[in-house]
Each structure stands twice: as structure tokens, then as C-alpha cells.
Amino acid sequence: MTVFESEDFDHHETVAFFDHKPSGLRAIIALHSTGLGPACGGTRVYPYKTTDAALTDVLRLSHGMSYKNAIADLPLGGGKAVFIGDPATDKTEGRLLAYADAVNTLSGHYITAMDVGMTQRDMPIIARGTKYVAGYDQPGKSGGNSAPLTALGVFEGLKAAVKHRLRVDSTKGLVVAIQGVGKVGMDLARRLHAEGARLLVADAQREAVDRAVAEFGAKPVDSDDIITAECDVLSPNALGAVLDDRTIPRVKAAIVAGAANNQLAHDKDGAALKARGILYAPDYVINGGGVICVAGQIFDWSNAEIECRVRAIADRLVQIFRRAEQEDAPTSTVADRMAEERMAKGATMRAAE
């Protein structure tokens, strides 16, 4: 399969393949759009079974980053990279440095950050070879660990959804079902508990569930049942594609608002939620705190400005909710339209320069 034949190719500006024989690095970097600024997105390390599978993933992920960066009102385009290999054994120093050289060949049109399989230990090695890197803890620089601010954005966005759908200003007394209590989900649980919400929690890691029960008085729920639990708000913070033809008819929540990526299994699932009267906070909008932290490092914003931008996620969601009502459209569709409008405006302005 060639790039142009892939069903996930969406007029990407650049798709670059790297095969560094001395180190064994095999990677693909895809730039979907640079209309708003340099393309930015993480590097995913994964043992793809085929090059076609790696290509599909990088095309989808880079496309998604264009929308995420645009809707977050960032001066960044969308890009992504995949490093083909087992993150436990294949991230040698030589390959990480070869990857830095690969990033450099794009002359600043791509800025990389962390994704699945890439850790805080890896990023300083990459940074030895390229300046086009951000989104990790660096002494004296803002940004860094994005989990707390991602959780803040989800919390503020969830409250905006609650106010819009349930007409209340607080989550006090509401039942929130949290699927996934990792770094982001646990911090979100802490914030909700402090406001008086009643929590249901599920996670594949029993230790995480036990901690949430002990610290927040949460009620444990089996992972297979959390999506359809009796609650006011369902907050997916773990796996993607949890909302589909099978689960949506059984969702009992009035609102879906969580940090997980790609919560809708298919585009049509946004319409299915709307048909059931369930208010959906589009995932790439509400979980934008992470990429805002990355942007903060790139542009040297203060921590105060980064936090202000994260809190603005709530206002952006309100705009989406209101426009969705005006246009009688799913919130997921409206979010895409707003991101596309901003990308088109940015491309027009850059063409006029």
C-alpha cells in the first residue's frame, strides 16, 4: 500500500520514512498540517506487525493532532511520529539519537513530544540531538508533567457540561463514574471528591481502585460494567473506542466527559449519543491540557498562562454545546467544524503573508 492509497491519507503535507541501518531505527513522521504553525505531536513507540499498520496509525494520529491543536487555539499544526519497536527493548541510545536526526531533517516543521512507549527518561536523550522537542520535565522551564493540568481541564470541562445539561453549578451530590484511575483519572477523582461528588471507579489495576476507595470513598465497579453504570456523568479516562453500537444504547449517564482519546468507535457514534439525549464533551477538546502544556514549553509561556489556557477549555466546550443546539448537530461534528474553520483561516492568513 502506498501513502496515497491509504484510506487514512487526508492530503497530509509530508509523510517521511526513516530506516537507519547502523542503529536499526525504523520510524515514520507524518505532518498533517502546518497551516497554524509547526506541526506538533508525540512519538509513539510500538511493535507494529506491519509497516502498513504503522502508516495507518501515524496518519490517523497526525490528523487528530491538527484538530486537537486547532481547537485548543494553539499556534501549532498537527503531526505525529511512530517509532517501530518494542518500547521495553528497542529504545537504544543509538536509535533515539538517530530519531533525533530524523526530526532534524524536517527543519523545525515538526516538534516532537511524548506518547505511548516514550518516557521522561527517553526525552533528554532525544534532546541531545535536536532542539525540536518538548513536553517533558526540564529544569527552569514551564510545562513538563502534563497529567495534573490535563485533569484540571477535564474537571473544568466536566463542570461546564454539568451546568449546560443539568443546570447546576457544582458536581456536589452527583454520581460520576470514572473509567480509569491512572495519573489523570486519579487527579480528576481527587478534584471531584473535594467538590462533593460521589464516585464510582474501575481500573484494570486493582491497586489504583483500592487507593480511590480509601482516599475518596469511591465505590468500586467491575471494568465491564462501568460504562453502563447508573450515574449522572460517565468519565472515560482509559481506553478508546468505548462508545459504540453495543454500549451507547445501555449508557445511563446524561453526560460523557473524560480524558481518554478516541472515545467514539466511529464518527456516527456522536450522532447516536445525541439521539439518546446524552451530552458528549468531545475528547480531543476536553483533554487538551496536555498539548497546552507542550505548547507552553515551546513558546516559553508562564505556568500562569498555561493554566489560564487550560481553564479556557470549559468556555470552548460551552461554545460547542451552544452551537450544536443551534445547528441541531452532534457535539463531535461541531467540534470538527470549528477546528477546520480555524485551520482554514490560518492557512489563508499564512498564504497572504
Task: Print pLDDT tens along the chain (353 aa).
Answer: 689 988 899 999 999 999 999 999 999 999 999 999 999 999 999 999 999 999 999 999 999 999 999 999 999 999 999 999 999 999 999 999 999 999 999 999 999 999 889 999 999 999 999 999 998 888 877 767 788 999 999 999 999 999 999 999 999 999 999 999 999 999 999 999 999 999 999 999 999 999 999 999 999 999 999 999 999 999 999 988 899 999 999 999 999 999 998 899 999 999 999 999 999 999 999 999 999 999 999 999 999 999 999 999 999 999 999 999 999 999 999 999 999 999 998 767 666 66
pLDDT at 214: 98
CA 185 to chain centre: 13
> Which of 221, 256, 233, 223 has the alpha carbon at shortest distance from 173?
233
- 3-63+77-129 is a CATH 3.40.50.10860 domain: yes
Rounded Cα–Cα distance for residues 138 and 141 (Å): 6
Q: In the chain, count of helices (H) and strands (E)?
A: 12, 11
**DSSP letter string over 39-56?**
EEEEEEEE--SSHHHHHH
Q: Which CATH superfamily is domain 147-341 in?
A: NAD(P)-binding Rossmann-like Domain (3.40.50.720)
Contacts of 113 (CB under 8 A, 6+ apart): 40, 41, 42, 43, 133, 134, 135, 136, 294
Rounded Cα–Cα distance for residues 106 and 91 (Å): 21
Phi, psi dihedral angles at 244 (to 5 degrees): -150, -170
pTM, two decimal places: 0.91
Rounded Cα–Cα distance for residues 247 and 252 (Å): 10
With the C-alpha atoms ordered 20, 26, 32, 36, is the resulting torsion angle positive or negative? negative
pLDDT at 140: 76
In the chain, list all ranges with CATH 3.40.50.10860: 3-63+77-129
Contacts of 150 (CB under 8 A, 6+ apart): 184, 259, 287, 289, 290, 293
Catalytically active residues are 80
DSSP 8-state secondary structure symbol assigned to residue 72 = T
In the chain, list all ranges with CATH 3.40.50.720: 147-341
